Amino acid sequence: MKKRLAILGSTGSIGTQALEVVDAHPELFSVEVLTANNNVDVLIRQAKKYQPNIVVIANKEKYQYLKEALSSEPIKVFAGDESVAQVAAMSNIDMVLSALVGFAGLLPTYRALEAGIPVALANKETLVVAGELIMEMAKIKNIPLIPVDSEHSAIFQCLEGEKANLVEKIFLTASGGPFRGKSVDFLRKVTRCQALNHPNWKMGNKITIDSASLMNKGLEAIEARWLFNLQPSQIEVVVHPQSIVHSMVQFTDGSIKAQMGLPDMRLPIQYALGYPLRLPNHFPRFSFMDYPSLTFEYADVSVFRNLSIAFVAMEQGGNTPCILNAANEVAVDAFLNGKSGFVEMSFIIEQTINKVAFIEKPAFSDYIDTDSEARAVAASFIRK
């Protein structure tokens, strides 16, 4: 039988590439649910092509337009964030791909796990904000949470067959983004266009800015802590400009396993959707002759302060990573809209962490309240 998919965030970079994987294996996958935040025209085209049972637009203002466009199709149409969370827990779903951006991914992921549905997770903020709670639910329900981020997919793959062997540390690789080797003075003058010009990956705006500031790697470190049950001291970030080694695991005997391949997000997406099988494809293949030199270097946290701030938040724990995530989303949005400089983003995040009350053992409702408070505090540091 075909694996029935709910693709949350189907119009974004991960969502559209996931549908390419579906196109490559129509005999293995069917699309039951498609959701989008705001991109209603792309959602309409996808709905007409894949004929899902349900589509949801989170922006309620786009509901009528969507409903009318699909009026001749046998497709149910809903709107709003709560509807996105509800469809993630439907009984006719075999797997949820959470490709939502930011904090919006938390509740749908939690609802899916609560309903006993396996999740392919491309929304790192879910584990950054509430990693302990999410992993506990996955453990209670005894269902897989399969990472889609290329780095976490790499680690996940390296750990296959190693259940009895202890991990000494993991190495998260980072491309270094478009500003690798630059100074703080250079970063003060960075433009939106420059920051969105990633050398290796094609991603959405938010994650591209996070990659340029190295916040993305900080968020991934927090995510890895919960996914793989690690201590912060067991996680090291290594800059690898070629983006061929996607991450590495070092075991207690000193040996290291690495997962390698071209920088193509369709590979980890396909691995997650097809797990535990490795499905054939016709994607471009890696050649060592095209990359005769693979290099590695330390990340400069004196320049890219977001990375060090994220590690401090991970060490502190509690609701601090939730504050970090909310403040970063506000800061990135401000930068994209010309209301903050590139370097100022670190200031906004750090000041917000200092100002929002710390909760050592937050409940689910505490995460919701913390997110709301942190956004308000972060907004107060943004120039009008």
Summarize pLDDT for 119-167 with one digit per residue, the tens: 999 998 899 999 999 999 999 999 999 999 999 999 999 999 999 999 9
Summarize pLDDT for 104-120 with one digit per residue, the tens: 999 999 999 999 999 99
CA distance 96 to 135: 16
Read off the amino acid at residue 182: K
CA distance 219 to 232: 12
End-to-end C-alpha distance for the chain, whole angstroms = 55
Which residue, among 122, 173, 165, has the nearest Cα to 145 in the 3D structure?
Answer: 122
Q: Encoding tokens for residue 257? A: 């396993």
Residues constituting the chain: 384
CB 329 within 8 A of CB 375: yes
CB 111 within 8 A of CB 90: no
Which residue, among 197, 223, 227, has the nearest Cα to 212 in the 3D structure?
Answer: 197
Mean pLDDT per 10-residue section of the chain, whose length is 384 residues: 97 96 97 97 98 98 98 98 97 96 92 97 94 96 95 97 96 94 95 88 85 95 97 97 97 98 96 96 95 96 97 97 97 96 97 97 96 98 84
Query: Phi/psi class of residue 361: alpha, beta or left (left: φ > 0; alpha: ψ in -120 to 50)?
Result: beta
Element (H, E) at 79: strand 76-79
Element (H, E) at 358: none
Query: Phi/psi class of residue 229: alpha, beta or left (left: φ > 0; alpha: ψ in -120 to 50)?
Result: left
CA distance 48 to 31: 12
Task: Count the neighbouring beta carbons within 10 Å of the beta carbon of residue 70.
Answer: 17
Contacts of 103 (CB under 8 A, 6+ apart): 125, 129, 325, 326, 329, 371
The predicted pLDDT at position 383 comes to 76
pTM metric for this prediction: 0.93
Q: What domains sit in the chain, N to C, each tagged with a CATH number?
A: 3-147 (3.40.50.720), 152-265+283-305 (no CATH), 317-384 (1.10.1740.10)
DSSP 8-state assignment for residue 161 = T
The predicted pLDDT at position 174 comes to 95
Cβ-defined contacts of 176-179 (< 8 Å, 24+): 176/239, 176/240, 176/241, 176/297, 176/299, 177/211, 177/212, 177/213, 177/214, 178/212, 179/212
Helices (H), the chain: 13-24, 40-50, 63-69, 81-87, 106-114, 125-141, 150-159, 184-188, 192-195, 205-213, 215-227, 266-274, 305-316, 320-336, 344-355, 364-380
Read off the amino acid at residue 364: F
Tokens 């391949």 belong to residue? 261
The tally of CA atoms less than 13 A away on the side-chain side of residue 343 is 12
Which residue, among 226, 264, 31, has the nearest Cα to 125 in the 3D structure?
Answer: 226
CA distance 69 to 71: 6
